C-alpha cells in the first residue's frame, strides 16, 4: 500500500543515525525510575546494572558501526545461524493483527514517552520520517490504511515527548473507538508507559543500579 501524497512529502535525506541517536539519549526526559536505572531496559539482564547513559551510548555506537560496515550481511548470517536446538522454538503461528497491534502499541507509546523533551530539528524530522514509514510498512494492511488517513487528518506533533505521547494516544483512541472500546485517558500515558502508578515500585531489581 502506498501512503497518500501528504504523508510522503518528507525530505528524502535523513541526518546520520548515530548523531541523532546520541543526541536523543543525551536529552532523555527525567523519569521517576531514573535513579534506579532504565526500566524499559530491564529485560537486558547483562546490561541492567550499567548506568543508562553507558548502555545507550554503547548501543548507538555499535549500531553506527554495523550500519557503516560493508560486511553487514555476512556478519549477520554468521551471528544468526540456526543452532540445532533453539530456545525460541516451538513457534506454531506468527502473530495475528491483535497480537501485533498490542506489541506495536507497547513499542510506540514507550518510544514516545522516552522521546526527548527538547528534540533537535533533526530528531523531529527523524520521528516524522519514522511515522511516515510506519504508514507504508505496517504489516496489517487495513490498519496501515486507517493510520494513513489519521496521519493526514491529525498530523503528528513531534515537538517533545508529551506532545508525541498525546498524539499516539489520540491515534490509538481513534482505533479503540472504531473497535467499540472505551477511550484511554491521555493524561495517564506517562503513568502507563514510563513511570508506573504512583506508589508502585515497578522495577525493584533496579533499586541499586
Ligand atoms: C498503528 C496501528 C493501527 C491499528 N489499526 C487497527 C485497525 O484499523 N483495526 C483494528 O481492528 N485493529 C487495529 N490495530 C490493532 C488494535 O489497535 C489493537 O492493538 C488490537 O485490537 C489488540 O487490542 P488489545 O485489546 O490487546 O489492546 P491494545 O489496543 O493493543 O492496547 C494495549 C494497551 O495499551 C493501552 N492503551 C489503550 N489505549 C491507549 C491509548 N489511547 N493511549 C495509550 N495507551 C493505550 C492499554 O493499557 C491497553 O491495554 C492497530 C494497531 C496499530 C499499532
The alpha carbon of 164 and the centre of ligand 1 are apart by a number of angstroms equal to 17
Secondary structure tally for the chain: helices H, strands E:
9, 0
pTM: 0.74
- Quick one: pLDDT at residue 95? 93
- Determine which residue's CA is closest to atom 43 belonging to ligand 1: 169
Over 90: is that where the pLDDT of 23 sits? no
Mean pLDDT of 186-200: 96
Q: What is the Cα–Cα distance from 80 to 15, expressed in whole angstroms?
A: 29
Over 50: is that where the pLDDT of 162 sits? yes
For the chain, the domains span 16-69+96-206
163 lines ligand 1 (CB under 6 A): no
Cβ proximity of 209 and 49 under 8 Å: yes
172 lines ligand 1 (CB under 6 A): yes
Residue 106: CB atoms within 10 Å: 12
Reading the block at residue 192, the C-alpha cell is 502507563
| Better pLDDT: 9 or 38 | 38
As its CATH architecture, domain 16-69+96-206 has: Up-down Bundle (1.20)
Cβ proximity of 14 and 128 under 8 Å: no
Amino acid at each position: 500500500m502506498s501512503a497518500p501524497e501528504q504523508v510522503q512529502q518528507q525530505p528524502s535525506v535523513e541526518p546520520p543515525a548515530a548523531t541523532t541517536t546520541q543526541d536523543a539519549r543525551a536529552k532523555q526526559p527525567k523519569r521517576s525510575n531514573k535513579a534506579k536505572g532504565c526500566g524499559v531496559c530491564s529485560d537486558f539482564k547483562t546490561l541492567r546494572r550499567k548506568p543508562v547513559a553507558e548502555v545507550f551510548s554503547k548501543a548507538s555506537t555499535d549500531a553506527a558501526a554495523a550500519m557503516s560496515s560493508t560486511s553487514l550481511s555476512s556478519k549477520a548470517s554468521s551471528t544468526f545461524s540456526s543452532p540445532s536446538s533453539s530456545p525460541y522454538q516451538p513457534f506454531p503461528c506468527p502473530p495475528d493483527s491483535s497480537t501485533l497491534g498490542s506489541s506495536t502499541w507497547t513499542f510506540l507509546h514507550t518510544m514516545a514517552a522516552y522521546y526527548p523533551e527538547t528534540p533537535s530539528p533533526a530528531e523531529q524530522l527523524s520521528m516524522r520520517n519514522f511515522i511516515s514509514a510506519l504508514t507504508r510498512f505496517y504489516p496489517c494492511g487495513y490498519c496501515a490504511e486507517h493510520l494513513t488517513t489519521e496521519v493526514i487528518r491529525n498530523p503528528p506533533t513531534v515537538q517533545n515527548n508529551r506532545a508525541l505521547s498525546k498524539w499516539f494516544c489520540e491515534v490509538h483512541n481513534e482505533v479503540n473507538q472504531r473497535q467499540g472500546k472505551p477511550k484511554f485517558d491521555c493524561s495517564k500515558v506517562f503513568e502507563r508507559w514510563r513511570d508506573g502508578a504512583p506508589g508502585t515500585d515497578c522495577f525493584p531489581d533496579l533499586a541499586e543500579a
